[in-house]
């Protein structure tokens, strides 16, 4: 009896040690502080190149009372197959304790189906002090089920849950009115400013509605920007060549460690390759470029893999942006992700109040990534900087965007 017990103890001990070693190996060779079991699961899955559709992370659905009869709400509820709570109109709380950025981890499991009572369509706020690209935002919802350590939404949003706006008929009406008010104006529009464009698409199916709408409007190009590989709904749609499916890319080490629940590089590139095959234009965003040990090899590797995966002629534009953040994001990011080191570097406060790497440092990283991209990209692909000064443009590219008509004109030439 005693021997049997001892054998069992030894067996359990071995299992525990093996499991512990696996976790240690998968997480890092160095000790890492992990704040929650969700964070641990996400890290292990990303290390194993295993990825699940991030919409499957949602566990609770809440519906605003006046949205219950909207057809789009009913479609989402049927696809999700989850029980849901009814929330009184304009109620401010969903009952998630804390209700602030500190409980984003819990909030990302909750999806709120509600109305957008403000504007759907707006010019990107940009900034007066840095060059911006004259982009327009179509606001389809707030927050996203993936979880990046550097995500600016952690500092912008005052609600921890995900919202999806179900009054889409109002959205299309507003778009119609905007287009009718200036029929000659060409517009580059994106849905990926306050959420990821495709991460909830399995539930919402919104991409197909948007693509059908845009295919009938010659003055619009719509960009669907994602870190997921949720593209199944895009197959076989009449996109009329005016949809750009785009991915944020980073060095492999950053994608693994700082982008929880986002698709690994191989899946993002495989999805991009499929979209190119279906005739979509592509775009890529190296943003945020983050300094880390081996950054040159890392960004070089991603660029090489990008150009072996997709046809270069399919790429409309590629943007570059170095890590920048509002001061409060550092507090939130370091509390939520104590294992991340990205905020522990030297930064200065930029003219827009955001922390940025010192200029020579930014220039060095931009120059390396830009030169490497230039060698591989088609001459028709517009490579541009997001929120940078004329000085940086000149130093890295050798020209000022005004010499080529300005960033908006450069981007318009790539797609219209």
- Interface positions with ligand SF4 (CB under 6 A): 144, 146-148, 151, 153, 195-196, 227, 262
Tell me the closest approach of the beta carbon of residue 267 to ligand SF4, in angstroms: 14
Instruction: Extract the runs of DSSP E, i.e. beta strands, from 124-208.
Output: 136-138, 141-142, 147-148, 162-165, 187-190
Minimum CB distance to ligand SF4 smaller for 144 or for 229: 144
Contacts 24+ apart (CB under 8 A), 308-312: 309/269, 309/270, 309/272, 309/273, 310/269, 310/272, 310/273, 310/276, 310/282, 311/276, 312/376, 312/377, 312/378, 312/381
Tell me the closest approach of the beta carbon of residue 201 to ligand SF4, in angstroms: 13
Q: Which of 381, 250, 387, 369 is nearest to 318 (CA)?
A: 381
Q: How far apart are CA 97 and CA 192, in angstroms?
A: 28
For residue 179, what are its two tokens?
């287009």
Minimum CB distance to ligand SF4 smaller for 153 or for 179: 153
Tell me the closest approach of the beta carbon of residue 192 to ligand SF4, in angstroms: 7
Alpha helix stretches (DSSP H) within 236-383: 252-258, 265-277, 295-309, 327-336, 359-376
Minimum CB distance to ligand SF4 smaller for 147 or for 388: 147
Tell me the closest approach of the beta carbon of residue 383 to ligand SF4, in angstroms: 21
For residue 68, what are its two tokens?
């219950």
Minimum CB distance to ligand SF4 smaller for 336 or for 362: 336
Contacts 24+ apart (CB under 8 A), 80-84: 80/111, 80/203, 82/58, 84/60
Minimum CB distance to ligand SF4 smaller for 262 or for 316: 262
Minimum CB distance to ligand SF4 smaller for 47 or for 312: 47
Minimum CB distance to ligand SF4 smaller for 178 or for 246: 246
Q: Specify which residues 223 forms β-bridges with.
A: 190, 244
Tell me the closest approach of the beta carbon of residue 331 to ligand SF4, in angstroms: 17
Minimum CB distance to ligand SF4 smaller for 45 or for 153: 153
- Report in angstroms the alpha-carbon separations of 387 from 205, 292, 321, 415: 32, 22, 7, 21
Q: Half-sphere exposure of residue 147, counting CA atoms within 13 Å on the CB side? A: 28
């Amino acid at each position: 009896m005693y021997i049997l017990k001892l054998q069992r103890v030894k067996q359990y001990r071995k299992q525990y040690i093996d499991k512990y070693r696996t976790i240690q190996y998968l997480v890092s060779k160095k000790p890492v502080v992990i704040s929650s079991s969700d964070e641990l699961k996400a890290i292990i899955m990303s290390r194993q190149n295993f990825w699940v559709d991030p919409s499957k992370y949602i566990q609770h659905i809440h519906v605003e009372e006046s949205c219950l009869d909207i057809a789009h709400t009913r479609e989402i509820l049927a696809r999700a197959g989850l029980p849901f709570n009814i929330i009184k109109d304009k109620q401010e709380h969903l009952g998630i304790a804390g209700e602030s950025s500190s409980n984003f981890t819990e909030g990302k499991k909750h999806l709120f189906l509600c109305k957008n009572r403000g504007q759907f369509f707006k010019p990107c706020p940009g900034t007066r002090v840095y060059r911006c690209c004259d982009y327009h935002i179509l606001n389809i919802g707030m927050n996203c089920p993936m979880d990046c350590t550097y995500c600016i939404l952690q500092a912008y949003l005052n609600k921890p849950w995900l919202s999806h706006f179900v009054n889409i008929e109002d959205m299309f009406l507003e778009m119609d009115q905007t287009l009718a008010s200036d029929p000659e104006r060409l517009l580059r529009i994106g849905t990926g400013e306050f959420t990821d464009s495709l991460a909830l698409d399995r539930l919402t199916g919104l991409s197909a509605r948007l693509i059908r709408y845009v295919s009938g409007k010659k003055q619009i190009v719509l960009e669907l920007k994602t870190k997921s590989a949720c593209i199944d709904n895009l197959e076989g749609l009449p996109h009329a060549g005016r949809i750009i499916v785009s991915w944020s890319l980073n060095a492999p080490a950053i994608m693994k460690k700082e982008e929880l629940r986002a698709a690994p590089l191989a899946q993002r590139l495989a999805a991009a390759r499929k979209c190119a095959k279906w005739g979509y234009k592509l775009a890529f965003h190296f943003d945020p470029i983050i300094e880390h040990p081996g950054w040159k090899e890392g960004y070089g590797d991603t660029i090489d893999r990008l150009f072996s995966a997709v046809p270069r002629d399919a790429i409309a534009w590629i943007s570059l942006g170095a890590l920048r953040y509002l001061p409060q994001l550092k507090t939130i990011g370091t509390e939520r992700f104590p294992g991340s080191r990205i905020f522990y570097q030297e930064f200065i406060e930029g003219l827009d109040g955001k922390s940025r790497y010192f200029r020579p440092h930014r220039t060095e990283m931009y120059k390396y990534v830009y030169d490497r991209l230039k060698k591989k990209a088609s001459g028709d692909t517009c490579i541009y900087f997001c929120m940078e000064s004329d000085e940086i443009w000149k130093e890295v590219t050798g020209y000022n965007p005004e010499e080529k008509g300005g960033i908006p004109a450069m981007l318009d030439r790539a797609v219209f």
